[in-house]
Amino acid sequence: MHSGTLYALSPVCTHLGCLVNWNYLKGEFQCPCHGGRYDIKGRVIGGPPPRPLTRLPLKIEGEKVLVGLKV
């Protein structure tokens, strides 16, 4: 969550498709393949990725968070 907003992001780097990891010490997503870096909203902040991480559809139903479904 960031500023009261919940985001669901694809973990697939937009450079060459490797899976990104969250680095909680730096507060960013990092791609281990070629050093791509993304902020908490998935925006590119460094490295070779050509575009942000893909946002996934998200819906909250009661205590459930549904991700990746058509909402």
C-alpha 46/C-alpha 37 separation (Å) is 5
Q: How confident is the model at residue 17 (pLDDT cuts 50, 70, 90)?
A: very high
Residues 6+ apart with CB under 8 A from 59: 65, 66, 69, 71
CATH of 1-71, one of 3.40.50.800, 2.60.40.10, 3.40.50.1360, 2.102.10.10: 2.102.10.10
Mind listing the pLDDT tens digit for each residue in 36-69?
999 999 999 999 999 999 999 998 899 999 998 6
What the block records as the tokens of 71 is 């909402």
Predicted local distance difference test score (pLDDT) of residue 70: 60
Q: C-alpha 43: how far from its chain's center? A: 8
Residue 71 amino acid letter: V
